[in-house]
Structure 1
Amino acid sequence: MAILSSTILSGLSILAVGLLMQSWLRHQPQPNTITSISPAQKTQLHEIAALMLEIYQTLAEMRYLNPESIHQGPHNLSSLHPLYTAQNIDPEIVYLYSILPYYIGSPPLDGETDFFHGGTFADFREEEDIEQSRDPFYAGPDGVDFDAGNGPYMQSWMTPLSRLGNHGSVILYDARVHQIWIIDQEGWVSTDPGLDEEEEDDDGGVKEEAGVQRMNRNSFEHIPSRPAGDVLRDINRWFRELEVLPGVGEYSGPEWDDEELDLRGLYREYGWLGEFDGEGFEVGKTRAYCSGQARYKAEEPLRAVEALRGWRMSFDRDIERCRGDIAKGGSVDEEWVARFELWKMERVYKCISVQSEEKEAIAAGLCPGGICIKEDELVVWEAEVLRQEARSKRDSISRYREWAEDSEQGGRGWEIATRAAEKEADIYRKAYEAASADAERMCPGKNFESVSGRQALDEEEMETSIRKLKDKILNLDREVQEATEWAGQLPDEAVQARAMVEQEIHGFRSRLEFERGVLTRMSGHVVQ
Structure 2
Amino acid sequence: MDHAVHHNIECVDGYDYSAANGRDASTVLGDIVKWYHDLRETPGGGEGSGNDWEHETVVELYRKHGWPGPNFDGDAFEVDHVRSIAHRALTWSANEPLRKLEESQREPNDWAHRAVEDALKKIKKAKKVDEEWMARWDLFEAEQVVANCEREAREARADAARYCPEGVVLRPEEELCWKRNTCNATMNISSKRAVTAVIAEAEKLYPGQTITTANGLRIMNESTKETRIEETNAVMESEHERMRHMQAWSEQIPKKAKKATAASQAAIKQCEQSIDSLVDMVDRINRFG
Which of 469, 476, 479 in structure 1 is aligned with 2:239?
476
2:271 to 496, 508, 514: 508
Shift of 1:447: 4.0
Assess if the C-alpha contact under 8 Å between 2:94 and 2:170 holds in 1: yes
Corresponding residue number in structure 1 for 2:67: 272
CA distance in 2, matches of 1:512, 1:369: 39
| One of 177, 202, 223 as aligned partner of 1:380 | 177
- Counterpart-to-counterpart distance in 1, 2:250 and 2:286: 35
TM-aligned CA distance change 1:309 to 1:178, over 3 Å: same
* CA–CA distance in structure 2, aligned partners of residues 438 and 346 of structure 1: 52
1:357 paired with 2:120, answer no
Q: Map of 1:255-294 to 2, 5 A cutoff?
A: 255-257=52-54, 261-275=56-70, 276-278=72-74, 280-294=76-90
Between Structure 1 and Structure 2, how many residues are aligned?
Answer: 284
1:373 is paired with a residue whose SS is coil
2:96 corresponds to: 300
1:176 aligned to 2:18? yes
Cα RMSD (Å) of the superposition? 3.8
Q: Are the structure 2 counterparts of residues 251 and 465 from structure 1 closer, same or farther at C-alpha, using a change threshold of 3 Å? A: closer
Report the Cα offset of residue 257 of structure 1.
4.1
Following superposition, the deviation at residue 385 of structure 1 comes to 1.7
User: What is the rounded CA distance, in whole Å, between the counterparts of 2:32 and 2:123 in structure 1?
Assistant: 64
Gaps of 5+ in 1: 1-29, 38-89, 94-154, 159-173, 180-225, 394-420
Could you report, residue by residue, the CA deviation over 1:205-226 in whole angstroms, capped at 9, with x for unpaired residues? xxxxxxxxxxxxxxxxxxxxx9
- The residue type equivalent to 1:302 in the other structure is L
State the Cα deviation string for residues 46-69 of structure 1 (Å, max 9, x = none): xxxxxxxxxxxxxxxxxxxxxxxx
What letter corresponds to residue 269 of structure 1 in structure 2?
A: K
| Cα separation, partners in 2 of 1:460 and 1:227, compared to 1, 3 Å | closer
2:193 counterpart SS class: helix
Asked whether the 8 Å contact 2:181–2:210 carries over to 1, the reply is: no
Q: Which amino acid aligns with 2:232?
A: L
In structure 1, what residue type is equivalent to 2:98?
L
Shift of 1:513: 2.2
Relative to structure 1, the CA distance from residue 235 to residue 352 in structure 2 (aligned partners, 3 Å threshold; closer, same or farther) is same
Distance 1:473 1:358 in 2: 18
Q: After superposition, what is the alpha-carbon deviation per residue over 1:147-167, rounded to whole angstroms, capped at 9, x for unaligned?
A: xxxxxxxx4366xxxxxxxxx
Q: Deviations over 1:383-424 (max 9, x none)?
A: 22214x15xx5xxxxxxxxxxxxxxxxxxxxxxxxxxx5xx3
User: Partner residue of 1:27?
Assistant: none
Give the percent of matched residue pairs that are identical in Structure 1 and Structure 2.
26
Q: TM-score, normalised by structure 2?
A: 0.77
For 2:105, the aligned partner's letter is R
Residue pair 2:177, 2:202 contacting (<8 A) in 1 also? yes
CA distance in 2, matches of 1:244, 1:362: 42
Q: Deviations over 1:220-245 (max 9, x none)?
A: xxxxxx97977776555334312345
Query: Shift in Å at residue 270 of structure 1?
Result: 2.7
**1:269, CA displacement in angstroms?**
1.8
**Does the C-alpha gap of structure 1 residues 248 and 472 become closer, same or farther in structure 2, counting only changes over 3 Å?**
same
Distance apart, 1:287 and its partner CA: 2.0
TM-score (norm 1): 0.46
User: What is the identity, as a one-letter code, of the residue corresponding to 1:240?
Assistant: H
How far apart are residue 334 of structure 1 and its match? 4.6
Question: What are the equivalent positions in structure 2 for 1:152-171 lying under 5 Å apart?
Answer: 155-156=12-13
What is the distance in 1 between the residues matched to 2:143 and 2:158?
Answer: 23
How far apart, in 1, do the equivalents of 2:35 and 2:130 lie? 67
Aligned residue runs from structure 1 range 343-422, under 5 A:
343-375=140-172, 377-387=174-184, 389-390=185-186, 393=187
Q: Give the unaligned 5+ runs of structure 2.
A: none
Greater fraction helix: 2
Please state if 1:342 is matched with 2:139.
yes
